[in-house]
Structure 1
């Protein structure tokens, strides 16, 4: 329970290099080459370890440098769950305390997981935006005003909207470039979108690793669930918009407003960034099929990214949403040579009991 003993700043990489595996079973289902980037193997259970951890390590190093090695750090994170777990996990590695605020929509199961590794977990607000406002304006304000000694540096850890987070997420692309078979170039990535931190990291990583020309040519299938589609709503409106609320069960995707940088990537690369919205039922159905195919259990936020593989483009169509979105107009031969990297972002808000409830609710 709580923070681990101090570990100095030698803790510099709070994420691991995860496998990127070719899946024969999913390739047969898709009709193209499917590679799975297994971010569910990260220390916190999701890709959030990359970006959140990167921000925290950099912040701790900066605080130490500015104080001549005298300052300690207290991290403050608002989250739907997975960012909080990444924050708490990295905080333990750094030997620093953390305060996590989650909204009331966060499941008791996830809250219990957070409290296993963090002493200060608070529940406030109907959605992430409300939890974040409470953290910044109430919790951190009172702390900075004198509750905590001056030698403690308070560090705000946003769940997705920060350049350090995008830098950490970009490391995923560098790994993929080394892990794919020689001569294989990713034609597309598929990722879930909540606040858009992963999308920003992937787009940034593509430019850094493959160059701007390749980044233009490589598609990013950005998948949201209905009821949490802040990116699609902005695309349709032609401007950044705020949703009135979140109704999706994929609470880890529950951001009423996508990061401005995520929307700007769409504006700059409208042919590369392909927004797609799937139903909660499709996300749950994908969880079930993915579990059968790979023996890996992921949460609905991750099921969203997997859903285009298993979901038909329309009730009348035999074509998958994946092929319609990434390979429309391609011949079967051309599509068969397409290389698609699906980011299995993971997530800890799932158990067999929770999945059983979802299956009963949606009839899948």
Structure 2
């Protein structure tokens, strides 16, 4: 898995380079070149290992630089599930304890996975925001307890699930890997799921760093992003429609890992800065479940519905136009290639970030299939 070099020490790297593979099955459905960035293979089961791991490694390096190798680091994370699992996974590898707070909506199945890695897990609040408040106000030590970070006192590290530059920087490594793995082929677009937007922010940072910054906000984008949410967890689309950051009243989607009632300010800022590059889209829970069922058949990989959101545009048929309702295309082409000829669309290279997620099993999938008739 490798290690991260700092100025004074090496630390284990809690994430891995994942394959980016061409999928003949999905390419045939989409009518263009579909590449799958398989972050479902990360140590924690999701892309969260990149950003969360990057933040935690940097925090440990900082603590040791300030207080020496015996700094009493402890990680504190609030999460809908996958970020907490990434935190607990990385904390074990780095050799430090962690405390995780998840909402009451988090499934028993997911909570059990986190508890298997972390002895200090709490379920509080109806959503992530409420869980985060409980973490900050009740679980984390008060300022008076944060003395020197040395033996006998705690050096607390707050680990947010998506809203931190170190998290975005870790997620941006996806673009760097893809640039190498595509052997010179340029990705015309990335497709990603959006909860709070940490992955999207990382992709935007990586695209700017690897492929260059557009001359202006209205310049043709070098690489687009299709930012996908599920209905009932669509805080980015709500903000885009309102022209300002919007806080949803609650989360009603089964994709609880996308259950953020308000995206990060940086997520919305990217949308405002690059209106031609970022294309928000919302899919239904049923479309997400259909996508993970078909993806399982096509690849033998099982992803949770939050990841199914990113896969759904490939599998979801839509009417070609209002004048030809019986002729269909895919949601992916409608959003990214509606004005292209078939020949031009066939040459597009689209990278779908298979972000993974651990809140799924065959039993849970069977329940979703029955519920949505998939």
Shared fold (TM-score, shorter chain, > 0.5): yes
2:256 alignment partner in structure 1: 251
- The CA deviation at 1:50 is 0.2
**Distance of aligned partners of 1:69 and 1:313 in 2 relative to their CA distance in 1, 3 Å threshold:** same
Deviations 1:214-266 (A, max 9, x none): 99331100000000000000000000110000000000000000001011111
SS of the residue aligned with 1:313? strand
Q: 2:173 aligns with which of 163, 171, 174?
A: 171
Are the equivalent residues in 2 in contact too, given 1:9–1:94 (CA < 8 A)?
Answer: no
**1:208 and 2:209 aligned:** yes
Q: Distance in 2 between matches of 1:221 and 1:144?
A: 45
Q: Distance in 2 between matches of 1:62 and 1:336?
A: 48
Q: Distance in 2 between matches of 1:154 and 1:212?
A: 36
TM-score, normalised by the number of residues in structure 2: 0.92
Q: 1:280 aligns with which of 270, 282, 285?
A: 285
Are the equivalent residues in 1 in contact too, given 2:12–2:93 (CA < 8 A)?
Answer: no
2:3 alignment partner in structure 1: none
1:5 alignment partner in structure 2: none
Q: Distance in 2 between matches of 1:160 and 1:54?
A: 12
Are the equivalent residues in 1 in contact too, given 2:145–2:154 (CA < 8 A)?
Answer: no
In structure 2, stretches of 5+ residues that fail to align are 1-7, 320-324
- The CA deviation at 1:144 is 5.6
Runs of 4+ in structure 1 over 2 Å off: 8-12, 141-152, 213-217, 313-317
Q: Distance in 1 between matches of 2:264 and 2:327?
A: 34
Worse-superposed segment, 307-316 or 321-330: 307-316
1:331 alignment partner in structure 2: 341
Are the equivalent residues in 1 in contact too, given 2:15–2:43 (CA < 8 A)?
Answer: yes
1:133 alignment partner in structure 2: 133
Q: 2:275 aligns with which of 270, 276, 282?
A: 270
Please list, as runs of the form range in 1=range in 2, the aligned pairs for 1:234-245 lying within 5 A after superposition: 234-245=239-250
Are the equivalent residues in 2 in contact too, given 1:55–1:164 (CA < 8 A)?
Answer: yes
Deviations 1:108-147 (A, max 9, x none): 0000000111111110000000000000011114586379
Q: Distance in 1 between matches of 2:55 and 2:42?
A: 16
- The CA deviation at 1:316 is 4.9
Q: Give the superposed CA RMSD.
A: 1.8
Are the equivalent residues in 1 in contact too, given 2:211–2:222 (CA < 8 A)?
Answer: no
In structure 1, stretches of 5+ residues that fail to align are 1-7
Deviations 1:266-302 (A, max 9, x none): 1010010000000000000000000010010000000
SS of the residue aligned with 2:140? helix
SS of the residue aligned with 1:100? strand
**1:37 and 2:37 aligned:** yes
SS of the residue aligned with 2:310? helix
Q: Distance in 1 between matches of 2:242 and 2:36?
A: 33
2:66 alignment partner in structure 1: 66
Q: Distance in 2 between matches of 1:241 and 1:141?
A: 31
Are the equivalent residues in 1 in contact too, given 2:72–2:152 (CA < 8 A)?
Answer: no
Please list, as runs of the form range in 1=range in 2, the aligned pairs for 1:1-364 lying within 5 A after superposition: 10-142=10-142, 145=145, 151-181=153-183, 183-213=184-214, 216-314=221-319, 316-364=326-374
- The CA deviation at 1:67 is 1.0
TM-score, normalised by the number of residues in structure 1: 0.95
- The CA deviation at 1:151 is 3.5
Q: Distance in 2 between matches of 1:75 and 1:153?
A: 9
- The CA deviation at 1:150 is 5.0
The structure carrying a bigger helix percent of its residues is: 1
Are the equivalent residues in 2 in contact too, given 1:70–1:151 (CA < 8 A)?
Answer: no
Are the equivalent residues in 1 in contact too, given 2:145–2:153 (CA < 8 A)?
Answer: no
